[in-house]
Amino acid sequence: MEAKKNFFAPIKAWKYLFKKPVTVPLEDIFDHPRESPANARGFHLNDHDKCIGCGTCSEICPTSAITMAVRGDIEEADGSKPERPVIDYGRCCFCALCVDICTTGSLKMSREYLHNSKDPEDYIWMPDMNGIHGTPAREGYTKTEDSDLLDLNRVNMAHVGPERRDSFIEVVKGYSKQQAIDEAKRCVACGICTDRCPAHMNIPEYIEAIWHSDLETGLELLYKTNPLSGVCGSICTHRCEEVCALQNRGDAIAIRWLKRYIVDNAPEEMYRKMIAEPISAPVNGKIAIVGSGPSGLSAAYYLRTLGYEVDVYETKAMAGGVARYGGPVYRLPEERLNKDVDLLVMIVINFHFNTRVGVDISLEELRSSHDVVYLASGYPFSRNLNIPGSDHKDIRFAMEVLGQTRDYNRGVGAMPDIDEHVVVIGGGNVAFDVARTVLRLQNEKFGKSDVSMLALESRDILPADIEEIEEGEEEGLKYNFGYGPEAVSLDDNGKIKGVAAKKCWAVFDDEKRFNPSFDETDTRLVEGTQVYISIGQGPDYVYITDEMNEKMSIERGKIAVNEHLQVDAYPWLFAGGDIVRGPDIVNAVADGHKAAVEIDAYLNKK
């Protein structure tokens, strides 16, 4: 039973009205601090070297006490922003949610909880590791495994097992709807990935669309910046994942696979609805594009949506460039590539196949019939090695066999000429494409495989993606990493018997320049009767005349352009993609988008 309150109780408290209050000077508190518990939630601490400025602390704060402010002494870098959290302790409720969600673990709380100032601004502070009073503060509350609000483990995508080596079936199976939602909800929407992506795709936004099961919005977001999202969802270099905030303590968000999920699961009517939306009214401008690879197709798409008439000239019989004739089918199935290309056909882009600019039609002819020419011819040729025997008739090259195999897989060409024992020279993703393609062809032709890889780099610094290395090992590739090719060895009958190699103990010199050093005493013969070289690609500049070559600047195979992707000597000539940046699909797509904007601006001024 609740006790009755005394009516005169408040009056009894008046006796303290005239008593002198007990006041402890703040200096005494600081000089003789009370011992606070080890997990005290006092003023914040933040390690600025670990903090990446992602802003998740600001987003989660229930009292809007945290804002992000730029620190002038911190340079912007891949994977971080030059911002750090500023906390208004007039608002802060010391709930520590900001600590529990910190992506790097840089934000903690100290045992300091006393501060006195007449200036309200003194309660707004950018925390560092010294504490609010400028002296090293004892660490208080930090997140634990139980309080951590982030899901650090990626939802793994199912893969076909090692039996995949017997066919060209796609290696990864794709996310189910629930798997995609579970992976999408891990994203903290910091946007650092968008900054890193060359195409600046709306990554957090399309991931959020997946979380809400809104594929239509997701698809629209993809095509705002990338008309080859199906291609990039399969074989993009996904550098965005390297800077994902979550990879600081766990697994990066599977950005590439989530993009693929949208493309694979958006129904056909969604695509048609998107394409049916009005293209800009026709404008008085006609554009010629040399090459139908990722950069050329991207430029064609955006120029067409701006209302321009677009002609694309392609040496091969089909559009797609390196995606069509380079990426293996087990990585990029034909139907996913066709889905992207068919989109461009639907918006009435004029393709001229089997037409090699510089041979079948000159660049000057294109100039005379068009207002602007955009060069996007890519890197279709493979580079050779300058070693004895590299000119042997049984030497093969990466782009050659990959293109032949794609034609064979689609039923328009014969199986490439494959030996039972093969050596692949190179350590990048393309070299693994070659090795794993040859291995599949051997299994189909001979019922067994024997493919050895030889690369300068040791396994820990190999340029190929880790998934390529691990999957290739599962399939039976033999590795000779950290060895450089010295010569193609021949038997007494002049036939290849392998590649002589020597140990490479340093790929780069002290100034980080490519300058391999070798141990001449550590040598080996990597046996094989056929050698495939995959050490890089090169351009096809048959369209550049001697006169143009004198006026243009081409450095190490790349055409020099200004900030508008324009060749200075010829204002009507633009260039982008591999021939400007080097081989990378998403960079090529980004250049195509930028070129469309710059060409539109140029023609409007003109």
pLDDT on residue 606: 79
pLDDT on residue 489: 97
User: Distance from CA of residue 326 to its chain's centroid?
Assistant: 19
pLDDT on residue 95: 96
The CATH number for 589's domain is 3.50.50.60
Whether 171 and 43 map to the same domain: the answer is no
Tens digits of per-residue pLDDT, 434-443?
999 999 999 9
Whether 64 and 198 map to the same domain: the answer is no
Tens digits of per-residue pLDDT, 337-376?
998 988 888 888 999 999 999 999 999 999 999 999 999 9
Whether 187 and 298 map to the same domain: the answer is no
Whether 208 and 238 map to the same domain: the answer is yes
CA dihedral (11, 15, 20, 22) positive or negative:
negative
First-to-last alpha carbon distance for the chain, in angstroms, is 91
CA angle, residues 335, 338, 340, in degrees to nearest 5: 120
Whether 385 and 528 map to the same domain: the answer is yes
In-domain check, residue 517: yes
Alpha carbons 115 and 15: distance in angstroms, whole number: 31
Nearest to 591 by CA among 351, 380, 302, 318: 302
How would residue 216 be classed by pLDDT, with cut points 50, 70 and 90?
very high
Q: Is residue 32 pLDDT above 70, yes or no? A: no
Tens digits of per-residue pLDDT, 535-544?
999 999 999 9
Amino acid at 511: E
Residues 481, 455 contacting (CB under 8 angstroms): yes
Alpha carbons 386 and 390: distance in angstroms, whole number: 7
In-domain check, residue 174: yes
How would residue 423 be classed by pLDDT, with cut points 50, 70 and 90?
very high
CA angle, residues 233, 440, 484, in degrees to nearest 5: 85
In-domain check, residue 501: yes
pLDDT on residue 241: 96
Which position has the token pair 């401008």?
285
How would residue 26 be classed by pLDDT, with cut points 50, 70 and 90?
low
Helix (H, G, I), strand (E, B) or coil at 453: strand
In-domain check, residue 233: yes
Q: Is residue 18 pLDDT above 80, yes or no? A: no
A 10 A CB-CB count for 397 gives: 18
Amino acid at 496: I
Q: Which of 125, 149, 182 is the last residue of a domain?
A: 125
The overall pTM is greater than 0.85: yes
pLDDT on residue 274: 77
Q: Which helix (H) or strand (E) holds 68?
A: strand 66-70
Residue 480 token pair? 């000779």
Dihedral angle of Cα 216, 222, 228, 232, to the nearest 10 degrees: -110
Residues 216, 164 contacting (CB under 8 angstroms): no
Nearest to 29 by CA among 91, 114, 108: 114
Q: Which helix (H) or strand (E) holds 527?
A: strand 514-527
Whether 93 and 173 map to the same domain: the answer is no
Q: Is residue 392 pLDDT above 70, yes or no? A: yes
Whether 260 and 336 map to the same domain: the answer is no
Tens digits of per-residue pLDDT, 112-125?
888 888 899 999 99
Whether 562 and 593 map to the same domain: the answer is yes
pLDDT on residue 34: 65
In-domain check, residue 153: no
pLDDT on residue 344: 85
pLDDT on residue 512: 87
Helix (H, G, I), strand (E, B) or coil at 200: coil
Question: How large is the angle between the packed helices 294-305 and 334-346, nearest 10 degrees?
Answer: 30
Amino acid at 1: M
Q: Is residue 315 pLDDT above 90, yes or no? A: yes
In-domain check, residue 385: yes
The CATH number for 32's domain is 3.30.70.3270
Q: Which of 486, 518, 537 is the last residue of a domain?
A: 537
Question: How large is the angle between the packed helices 398-409 and 429-446, nearest 10 degrees?
Answer: 50
The CATH number for 168's domain is 1.10.1060.10
pLDDT more than 90, % of the chain: 83
Q: Is residue 6 pLDDT above 70, yes or no? A: no
User: Distance from CA of residue 517 to its chain's centroid?
Assistant: 31
pLDDT more than 70, % of the chain: 95
In-domain check, residue 136: no
Beta-carbon contacts of residue 606 (< 8 Å; ≥ 6 apart): 371
How would residue 10 be classed by pLDDT, with cut points 50, 70 and 90?
low
pLDDT on residue 346: 84
Full domain range(s) for residue 464: 381-537
Whether 510 and 412 map to the same domain: the answer is yes
Whether 485 and 385 map to the same domain: the answer is yes
pLDDT on residue 444: 97
Q: Which of 235, 252, 274 is the last residue of a domain?
A: 274
Encode burial over 224-248: b for 16+ CB neighbours within 10 A, e otherwise: bbbbbbbbbbbbbbbbbbebbbbbb
In-domain check, residue 358: yes
Whether 374 and 386 map to the same domain: the answer is no
Tens digits of per-residue pLDDT, 538-587?
999 999 999 999 999 999 899 999 999 999 999 999 999 999 999 999 99
User: What is the number of domains present in the chain?
Assistant: 4
How would residue 33 be classed by pLDDT, with cut points 50, 70 and 90?
low
Alpha carbons 537 and 428: distance in angstroms, whole number: 11
Whether 47 and 108 map to the same domain: the answer is yes
